[in-house]
């Protein structure tokens, strides 16, 4: 299973790079996102970042729609677009050149640079790697229906010890429209998920996920 941070993510494409280096598995970083943002935000230059509210930092080159809600703490990176009615509940570190679209909700997340969550997405307790893309209506489900602790299921099962964990997307991942990524889903680099999929567990890198019984290797 290629599910460690170095397997999945290029840490040069996020302000959280040094922070993430501390951990083996990406979900281990979820508990500290709030404190990370507060620490990073305190060191940001007021010449580069506006601070429209306490513990909210928005790069001067970013575009934020007047109907968007930016909950603290959060950082919105350079050239990022936050569209109408986006709801950032807090603890969201959004990188450079990202899209946070209409009616998108973010909570306790790290979005690497060039991530797109453009239409009706929910992303909670998750990390989205460089240039990953969530198709319209696709969501991360971050709590199991029976409220038990999340287990990441691949070749072996790894207990996370977490009640809340959404999905980890490696770099260059494509999620099809109206897909649900169940708690503890990990998608390897450069993999794609078909629209309307219900995904659980680990999808290997360079794969195409058609359904749970049909995960094929991407042709070079």
Tell me the catalytic residues: 119
Cα–Cα distance measured from residue 25 to residue 65, given in angstroms and rounded to the nearest whole number: 35
Torsion of CA 220, 183, 155, 215, to 10 degrees: -30
- CB within 8 Å of 43: residues ≥ 6 apart: none
Distance (Å) of CA 47 to CA 43, 44, 51, 57, 58: 12, 9, 11, 12, 11
Query: How far separated are the first and last CA of the chain, in Å rounded?
Result: 20
Q: Are 196 and 176 in contact (CB under 8 A)?
A: yes
Please tell me whether residue 2 adopts helix, strand or coil conformation: coil
Tell me the backbone φ, ψ of residue 162, rounded to 5 degrees: -115, 135
Q: Which residue has the tokens 């319209």?
A: 136
């Amino acid at each position: 299973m290629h599910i460690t941070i170095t397997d999945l993510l290029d840490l040069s494409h996020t302000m959280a790079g040094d922070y993430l280096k501390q951990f083996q598995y990406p979900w281990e970083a979820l508990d500290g996102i709030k404190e990370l943002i507060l620490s990073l935000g305190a060191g940001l230059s007021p010449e580069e970042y506006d601070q429209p509210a306490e513990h909210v930092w928005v790069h001067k080159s970013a575009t934020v729609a007047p109907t968007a809600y930016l909950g603290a703490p959060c950082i919105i990176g350079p050239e990022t677009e936050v569209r109408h009615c986006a709801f950032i509940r807090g603890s969201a570190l959004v990188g450079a050149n990202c899209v946070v679209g209409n009616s998108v909700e973010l909570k306790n997340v790290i979005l690497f640079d060039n991530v797109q969550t453009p239409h009706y997405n929910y992303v909670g307790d998750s990390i989205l790697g460089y240039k990953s893309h969530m198709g319209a209506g696709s969501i991360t489900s971050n709590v199991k229906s029976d409220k038990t602790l999340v287990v990441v299921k691949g070749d072996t099962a790894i207990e996370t010890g977490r009640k809340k964990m959404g999905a980890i997307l490696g770099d260059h991942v494509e999620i099809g429209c109206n897909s649900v990524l169940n708690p503890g889903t990990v998608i390897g680099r450069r993999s794609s998920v078909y629209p309307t999929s219900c995904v659980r567990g680990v999808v290997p890198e360079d794969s195409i996920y058609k359904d749970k019984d049909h995960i094929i290797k991407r042709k070079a």
